[in-house]
A and B are shown apart, each in its own frame.
Chain A
Amino acid sequence: MIRFVLFLFILVSCQTRSVTRVQPDATYDLSGRWNDADSRMVADQMINDLLQSSNFTEYAKQKGNKPAIVVGIIKNKTTEHIDASNYIKKIELAIYNSGTADIVESEEFRDKMRVERLQQQDFADPETVAEFGKEIGADLMLFGEMTSETDVFRSQKVVNYVTSLYLTDIETNKRIWFGQNEIKKVVRN
Chain B
Amino acid sequence: MMRFGYLLILLFFFGCASYHQVNQDFHHEFRNGDLHQALEILGDNENVGSGRNRFLFYADKGLLLSILGRYEESNSYFEKAFLYGEDFQKNYVAEAATYLTNPNLKAYGGEDHEHLFVLYYKALNFLKLRKPSEALVECRRLNIRLQQLNDKYSSGNKFQRDAFIHTLMGVIYQSTKDYNNAFIAYRNAVEVYEEDYSEMFGMNIPDQLKIDLLNTAAWMGFNDELQFYKEKFSMQDYSPSVPTASLVFFWHNGLVPVKGEWSINFIMEQRENNWIVFNNPEMGLSFPFQVDGDNDRRNLTNLEVFRVAFPRYLERPVFYESGILESAGGQYKLELLEDVNKVAFYSLNQRMMLEFGKGLLRAALKKTTEHTIRREDERLGALVGLINAVTEKADTRNWQTLPHSISYARIPMERGNNTVELKLSPGHGAPATYTFKYEPAAGETLFHTFSSLESGYPRY
Write the residues of chain A forming the contact surface with B, with a CB cutoff of 8 angstroms: 1-6, 9-10, 12-13, 15, 17, 31, 33, 75-81, 155, 189
Known: A13-B93, A76-B184, A81-B185. A1 touches B291 (CB 8 A): yes
CB distance from A83 to the nearest CB of B (A): 9
A2 and B151 contact, Cβ closer than 8 Å, known pairs A9-B93, A9-B95, A79-B188: no
A79-B292 in contact (CB<8A)? no
- The minimal Cβ–Cβ distance linking B186 to chain A, given in whole angstroms, is 12
Is the C-beta of B187 less than 8 angstroms from some C-beta in chain A? Answer: yes
Contact A2 B296 (CB under 8 A): yes
Chain A residues contacting B368 (CB-CB under 8 Å) are 2
Interface flags for B175-211 (1: CB within 8 Å of A; 0: not) read: 0000011001101100000000000000000000000
How many A-B residue pairs have C-beta atoms within 8 angstroms? Tell me: 63
By CB atoms of chain B within 10 A, which of A3, A5, A9, A76 has the most? A9
User: Chain B, 50-86, contact with A by CB distance < 8 Å: what is the 0/1 string?
Assistant: 0000000000000000000000000000000000000
Is B424 located at the chain interface by the 8 A CB criterion?
no
How far, in Å, is A93 (CB) from chain B's closest CB?
Answer: 23
Bound-complex Cα distance A184 to B16 (A): 56
Beyond A13-B92, A17-B89, A75-B222, 17 additional contacts (C-beta under 8 Å) are: A1-B289, A1-B292, A2-B296, A2-B361, A3-B293, A9-B93, A9-B95, A9-B99, A10-B92, A10-B96, A12-B92, A17-B87, A75-B220, A75-B221, A76-B180, A76-B181, A77-B222
CB distance from A82 to the nearest CB of B (A): 9
> A33-B147, A80-B184 in contact; A2/B364 too (CB < 8 A)?
yes
Please list the 9 inter-chain residue pairs (A to B) with the smallest Cβ-Cβ separation, ordered nearest first: A13-B92, A9-B96, A1-B292, A9-B92, A13-B93, A189-B154, A12-B92, A1-B291, A76-B180
Contact of B365 with A by CB under 8 A: yes
Tell me whether B301 is interfacial, beta carbon within 8 Å.
Answer: no
Residues of B within 8 A of A31 (CB): 147, 151
* A74, chain B: closest CB distance, angstroms: 9
| A4 partner residues in chain B, CB cutoff 8 A | 292
CA distance in complex: A34, B177 (Å): 23
